[in-house]
């Protein structure tokens, strides 16, 4: 088994995990054959595009340049402390602990919550830039996760821990075997948080299977009734809900819920659902094609430069993985992807210039 892990799993990429989890979502749900084919096609196209992005990068005359890791670490620390501050402010604002009182979560400040999401990004940059020991990284990650989970959002806890694992993996702090063990441990954490939520809300059933089946059933409804009907309104709401552009005042997940006759809650449509609603089946091709290319390029840049580049990449990968269920529909997440792509192209540009010296 040890030789198998060392020889056959040289590098676990997000495209492998993305396809694997997409298959699991299909297998563990009761979606129609058409919906299953759309999910599998989209994930396979992302996989191919990711590899294409890696191959495109290899054609560049790229030479790694000197990176000021101390400066990158300071940026990470600032974002980390910024996120911690607004996490605490959010808890003070709501005057409660949403983890133990889920009804209070709706009173959280939208702005404070969005700012608190810099905590995982900052920590990922610190891990990618510093020489902290693995023991300290795991210890601090546990502390930060314990703080984040108080807001009642499992997604941010998963993003924090998943980005830490990827930052450690691609900065060569952990190898394949520990990477796999860490992912298994994270899966147990997700199950534990889901079970805790079901216990607090007095909900029966398997928390993981019921969540997957619910999310995929929503996707099934979208495939049958809303294929391309919204013509960009859902993704437009990412920005219009913050008043940045004209459009719906409600968030994307609220619009999706309202479209199927559900009010008072938000609904996660999978990463495939929102794209299908807005742009139709054919829209999945350019979406996952461009997405895969950018992630493939970022993968290569982050492995060579580490630091801030790897920190952003780790966050991008983490939101991609959790986005299989939740979709990528939050303004702050879109901003992080935008900054991550900018840093990727900046790194490529600097590397090409360095090779010409």
| Residues in contact with 214: Cβ distance below 8 Å, sequence separation at least 6, in sequence order | none
88 located within any domain: yes
248 located within any domain: yes
What tens digit of pLDDT does each residue of 1-54 get? Answer: 454 444 445 678 999 999 999 999 999 999 999 999 999 999 999 999 999 999
Determine the Cα–Cα distance for residues 86 and 94; give it in Å rounded to an integer. Answer: 12
Of the CA atoms within 13 Å of residue 178, those in its CB half-sphere come to 13
3 located within any domain: no
What tens digit of pLDDT does each residue of 119-142 get? Answer: 999 999 999 999 999 999 999 999
1 located within any domain: no
2 located within any domain: no
331 located within any domain: yes
What tens digit of pLDDT does each residue of 292-302 get? Answer: 999 999 999 99
Please give the backbone phi and psi of residue 132, each rounded to the nearest 5 degrees, phi first.
Answer: -60, 145
Q: What Cα–Cα distance (Å) separates residue 335 from each residue in 115, 182, 262, 332?
A: 12, 28, 28, 5
- Return the structure tokens found at 213: 């089946």
Determine the Cα–Cα distance for residues 266 and 246; give it in Å rounded to an integer. Answer: 21
Question: What domain range includes position 212?
Answer: 12-354
Handedness of CA 126, 122, 157, 96 (dihedral sign): positive
Give me the long-range contacts of 34-40 (CB less than 8 A, separation at least 24).
34/223, 35/216, 35/219, 35/220, 35/223, 38/223, 38/272, 38/276, 38/281, 38/284, 39/219, 39/270, 39/272
Average pLDDT on 245-270 reads: 89
4 located within any domain: no
Q: What is the pLDDT of residue 218?
A: 93
Handedness of CA 212, 214, 219, 220 (dihedral sign): positive
Average pLDDT on 267-287 reads: 94
Contact yes or no for 265/312 (Cβ under 8 A): no
pLDDT at residue 85 greater than cutoff 60: yes
275 located within any domain: yes
Question: What is the band of 177 on the pLDDT scale with cuts at 50, 70, 90?
Answer: confident
What tens digit of pLDDT does each residue of 233-256 get? Answer: 999 999 999 899 999 999 999 999
Q: What is the pLDDT of residue 333?
A: 96
pLDDT at residue 197 greater than cutoff 80: no
| Structural domain count, the chain | 1
Q: What is the pLDDT of residue 4?
A: 43
What SS3 state is found at 350? Answer: helix
Question: What is the band of 153 on the pLDDT scale with cuts at 50, 70, 90?
Answer: confident
pLDDT at residue 266 greater than cutoff 90: no
Q: What is the pLDDT of residue 98?
A: 87
């Amino acid at each position: 088994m040890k030789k198998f892990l060392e020889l056959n799993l040289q590098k676990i990429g997000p495209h492998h995990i993305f396809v694997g989890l997409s298959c699991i979502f299909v297998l563990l749900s009761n979606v129609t054959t058409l919906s299953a084919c759309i999910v599998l096609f989209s994930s396979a196209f992302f996989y191919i595009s990711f590899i294409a992005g890696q191959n495109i990068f290899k054609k560049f005359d790229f030479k790694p340049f000197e990176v000021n890791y101390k400066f990158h670490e300071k940026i990470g620390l600032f974002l980390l402390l910024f996120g911690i501050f607004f996490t605490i402010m959010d808890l003070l604002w709501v005057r409660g602990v949403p983890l133990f009182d889920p009804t209070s979560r709706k009173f959280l400040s939208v702005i404070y919550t969005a700012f608190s999401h810099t905590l995982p990004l900052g920590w990922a940059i610190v891990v990618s830039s510093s020489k902290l020991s693995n023991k300290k990284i795991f210890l601090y990650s546990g502390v930060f996760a314990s703080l984040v989970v108080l807001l009642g959002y499992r997604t941010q806890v998963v993003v924090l821990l998943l980005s830490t694992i990827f930052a450690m993996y691609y900065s060569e702090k952990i190898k394949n075997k520990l990477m796999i063990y860490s992912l298994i441990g994270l899966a147990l954490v997700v199950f534990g948080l889901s079970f805790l939520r079901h216990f607090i809300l007095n909900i029966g059933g398997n928390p993981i299977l019921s969540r997957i089946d619910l999310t995929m059933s929503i996707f099934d409804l979208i495939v049958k009734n809303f294929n391309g009907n919204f013509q960009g309104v859902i993704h437009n709401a990412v920005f219009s809900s913050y008043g940045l552009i004209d459009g719906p005042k409600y968030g994307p997940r609220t619009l999706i819920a309202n479209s199927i006759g559900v009010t008072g809650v938000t609904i996660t449509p999978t990463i495939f659902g929102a794209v299908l609603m807005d742009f139709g089946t054919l829209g999945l091709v350019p979406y996952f094609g461009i997405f895969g290319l950018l992630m493939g390029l970022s993968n290569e840049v982050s492995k060579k430069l580490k630091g801030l580049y790897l920190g952003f990449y780790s966050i991008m990968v983490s939101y991609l993985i959790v986005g299989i269920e939740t979709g990528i529909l939050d303004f702050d997440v879109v901003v992080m992807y935008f900054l991550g792509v900018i840093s990727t192209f900046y790194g490529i540009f600097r590397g090409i210039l360095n090779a010409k010296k």
